[in-house]
Amino acid sequence: MKKIVSISVGSSSRDHTTRHIFLGQECEISRQGTNGDFQKAIELYRELDGKVDAFGAGGVEFFLQVENKKYYFRDVRRIRNAIRISKVGDGNGVKGLLEKRAFEYLERYLNEKEGRSLKGLPALKTTVVERYSMGKAMVDAGLDVTFGDFMFALGLPIAIHSLATARLVAAVLLPVVTQLPFSWLYPLGSEQDKPPQPKWMKYYQRSQVIAGDFLQIRQYMPNDLTGKIVVTNTTTAKNVEELRERNLHILVTVTPRLEGRSFGTNVMEATLLALMDKPQSEVTQADFMSLIERIPLEPNIEVLNP
């Protein structure tokens, strides 16, 4: 049996363990949160290194990639340096592939089930420099996208309306931002459990599609999401009920739902790495895509309110 452990600096309230068979191989997948404690996470990585087939680096990313440029987080390097033996994925290896598939599947679903298209629909992407591949997938799908980086990351009422502007913002800000403590940039630990505090309402209200990291979406989401579509990553059964109660129409997660929980792309990348019989240094995007299609690893599309 393959063992995959996602050690997250996020809240332990989101912990989950499941077993699933991929291509005839049983995998035990678990998520362990450290409630914002970076040092505890590092100690867990060191303790389990070599005892698990692959780690998922949860709640963090080793770098942000905008087009072909990578911006590495100084704070997160400590985690990467703690792992010597086991393979490790932070999601960057597969999220672009999975996000593109999610919007392709959603377009097909809307065409076949509702007689409509994503093309031209107003959309909100919480932060594009944090997940540029998703922003690009949205633009490629024909959505009319507003990028909320200044709002969701900096609290400033400034909207971005093009990928070109996003690339410029990334080139100016990310060399500085990635040197800051990670906790300044992203809610960790108990911060993830706070009730939503509705904000940036006109952007939520005008958008038919809302996409991005779920904790960012949830942080400011309104009480009414009637008729809207959310495309996101990790959601728990409790999160799904929150969205159902707000009358959300469709929830799409870029990873499949396993026993009520959609794991993050870091977990899916770690699982794929564990299934590959080759050193991580030799793994290519083609290797990931081959496994994704063979399994197949598909997005989850769930109608919460018809």
pLDDT tens-place string over residues 25-37 = 999 999 999 988 8
The per-type count for the chain, helices as H runs and strands as E runs, is 11, 15
Give the pLDDT confidence of 152-209 residue by residue, as tens digits: 988 999 999 999 999 999 999 999 989 987 766 666 555 666 889 999 999 999 999 9
Average pLDDT score over residue span 38-63: 93
What per-residue confidence (pLDDT) applies to 191?
60
pLDDT category of residue 304 using cuts at 50, 70 and 90:
very high
| Predicted model pTM | 0.90
What per-residue confidence (pLDDT) applies to 153?
86
Average pLDDT score over residue span 257-282: 88
Cβ neighbour number for residue 126 with a 10 Å cutoff: 28
Residue 173's closest CA among 61, 38, 69, 59? 69
**pLDDT at 122 exceeding the cut of 90:** yes
CA distance 103 to 100: 6
Q: How do beta strands 69-72 and 63-66 pair?
A: antiparallel
Is the bond into 157 cis (omega within 30 degrees of 0)? Answer: no
Q: Which of 140-149, 229-238, 282-291 is predicted least confidently?
A: 229-238
Average pLDDT score over residue span 88-117: 96
CA distance 10 to 239: 15
CA distance 160 to 141: 18
What per-residue confidence (pLDDT) applies to 274?
97
Contacts 24+ apart (CB under 8 A), 179-186: 179/74, 180/75, 181/75, 182/9, 182/38, 182/60, 182/73, 182/75, 182/76, 183/36, 183/38, 185/153, 186/59, 186/60, 186/215
What per-residue confidence (pLDDT) applies to 52?
97
CA distance 19 to 121: 38
Q: Hey, what amino acid is at 220?
A: Y
CA distance 247 to 241: 10
The mean pLDDT of the chain is: 92
**pLDDT at 260 exceeding the cut of 80:** no
Q: Which two tokens stand for residue 32?
A: 């362990």
**pLDDT at 59 exceeding the cut of 90:** no
CA distance 202 to 157: 11
Q: Hey, what amino acid is at 306?
A: P
